[in-house]
Amino acid sequence: MTSEELLKTIRSFQESRVLLTGVEFDLFANIEGGATAGEAAARIKADRRATEMLLNALVALGVLEKRGGVYHNTAVAVEQLTGDSRLALMHQVHLWTRWSTLTECVREGTSVTRDQPCTLESIEAFIAAMHRNASARAPEVVRIVDASKVRWMLDVGGGSGAYSIAFARANPELEAELLDRAEVVPIASRHIKAANLAGRVRLRSGDLRHDDLGSGFDLVFISAICHMLSPDENRDLLLRAAGALKPGGRIVIQDFVLNAEKTAPPFAAMFSLNMLVGTERGACYSEPEYRAWLEEAGMHDITRVDLQGSALMMGRK
């Protein structure tokens, strides 16, 4: 990294904050069709002078266009910063506060905000963000895992149900059970009903850290969960997951998998810090760690398959 690149990276939080403030105000929906600074300020209930400064900065970033004193969304603003996309980005707004505590988290060795209660708004935003990511990745995951060989699967911490939906669509004989927290289940129910799969994807409220996972599954699917847990919690989860499988069944983990030195890929190394600021003992883990935990759980034929931005770790009982 050059000195110029370093300084640009240090200042990049300013651009991020400008965009997130626009998202927080739902500014981009409020200027749909074009708006002056005064009109935009009135719609978002903010100061006119300050709103104009924000709008001009967004023009400078290339997110908005300004013609004759009227501000307009670019195509990318409409696509990425309004509607369901905007709801998903509200998760990043909430992360801003947590990342601001990184110095204190490094000092203490854990999240200093982890005991703050989650609001319904923050849960909706988090699940929306996860649904967006999972929906994009699910077709490839289903293809690699091969849904044709699965009749009964458990989706641990399944969130919106994006993966259960994708597996069920790929195999009309497949049924799934999704386990997640009580406040998440109603959100999953909406997505599953919208997909017309309520009869084949069952919902169960529970705590994946402690609850019995059931038995007789062909597949236990664990996506974007292990990074929220400590090493000991992952060992326990995978032991219970193995116990929930019938002979020949598989555990499939989808997560950000680090190299043995835990320095790459870059996104996973950064996401590990995201777990530091947001969880008690979570982190991103390396391939050797996942292999060891799966072996401890009695799994064999352990393989890794790289995806765009993440990886699958798979083992057979």
In the predicted model, is pLDDT for residue 289 greater than 90?
yes
Structural domains counted in the chain:
2
What pLDDT does 118 receive? 86
Same domain flag for 164 and 296: yes
The stretch 148-177 carries a mean pLDDT of: 97
- The CATH number linked to 225 is 3.40.50.150
Same domain flag for 19 and 126: no
The stretch 30-59 carries a mean pLDDT of: 98
CB atoms closer than 10 angstroms to residue 149: 12
What pLDDT does 117 receive? 84
What pLDDT does 74 receive? 98
Q: Which two tokens stand for residue 309?
A: 């931005």
Confidence at 116, pLDDT banded by 50, 70, 90: confident
pLDDT digits (tens, 9 = 90+) for 178-203: 999 999 999 999 999 999 999 999 99
Whole-number percent of the chain with pLDDT over 90: 97
Whole-number percent of the chain with pLDDT over 70: 100
Confidence at 115, pLDDT banded by 50, 70, 90: confident
Q: What is the DSSP letter of 252?
A: E
pTM of structure: 0.92
Same domain flag for 82 and 131: no
Confidence at 147, pLDDT banded by 50, 70, 90: very high
Confidence at 14, pLDDT banded by 50, 70, 90: very high
pLDDT digits (tens, 9 = 90+) for 130-143: 999 999 999 999 99
Structural Rg of the chain based on CA atoms: 22
Strand positions, DSSP E, the chain: 64-67, 70-73, 152-156, 175-180, 201-205, 217-223, 245-255, 257-258, 285-286, 300-306, 311-316
Same domain flag for 167 and 271: yes
Measured in whole angstroms, the distance separating CA 247 from the mean position of its chain's CA atoms is 31
Q: Which two tokens stand for residue 276?
A: 């530091």
The stretch 227-255 carries a mean pLDDT of: 98
CA distances from 251 to 121, 209, 220 (A): 32, 16, 5
Amino acid of residue 38? G
Place of tokens 């911490």: 157
Q: Is residue 95 included in any domain, yes or no?
A: no
**Residue-number span of the structural domain to which 11 is assigned:** 3-89
Residue ending a domain, choose from 43, 66, 89? 89
CA–CA gap between residue 9 and residue 3 (Å, rounded)? 10
CA–CA gap between residue 21 and residue 50 (Å, rounded)? 12
